[in-house]
Structure 1
Amino acid sequence: MNFDIRGAVIHNIHTMNPQQLQELVVDSIQQGEEKLLPGLGVLFEVIWKNSSDAERNQLIETLHEALPK
């Protein structure tokens, strides 16, 4: 069975305002449930696709610095 995770996530959040989106992200991270990771991945993909090269570089630098050494 194929399930369009991207489409489902976008459908479920497309009418949210910025506050609701922030709450969704914070709640998903705080819950720490594995089943929420694909949705967070879709959100990251949307951010990545709509970011400038400079913003992308900053995202990667932030990620790199936050990972355990």
Structure 2
Amino acid sequence: MDLNLRKAILSNVSGHNTDQLEATIVDAVENGEEKMLPGLGVLFEMIWKEANEQDKHEMLETLEHSLQKQS
């Protein structure tokens, strides 16, 4: 069985508007289910690829700050 998880995830959200995408992300984050992590990873990959250097820097700073709060 050849399952391309990335393609499946993108197929599931293809054509979604911003409200639908937000609902998907919020649902995944609030539920905290491990099975949702690959989907969030694919969405983050898309954001990262489209981001300019300033946006990437801001994301990394936000991530660093969030990780420091967890320690």
Q: Residue by residue, what CA displacement relative to the aligned partner does 1:8-65 show, whole Å, maximum 9, x if unpaired?
A: 1111111100000000000011111000000000000000001001000000000000
What TM-score, normalized to structure 2?
0.91
RCO comparison, higher one (Cα < 8 Å, 6+) = 1
Q: Distance in 2 between matches of 1:63 and 1:27?
A: 20
Q: What is the percent sequence identity of the aligned residues? A: 42
- Structure 2, gaps ≥5 residues long: none
What TM-score, normalized to structure 1?
0.93
Q: Which structure has the highest helix share of the two?
A: 2
2:38 matched residue in structure 1 = 38
1:19 matched residue in structure 2 = 19
- Structure 1, gaps ≥5 residues long: none
Q: CA deviation at 1:5?
A: 1.2
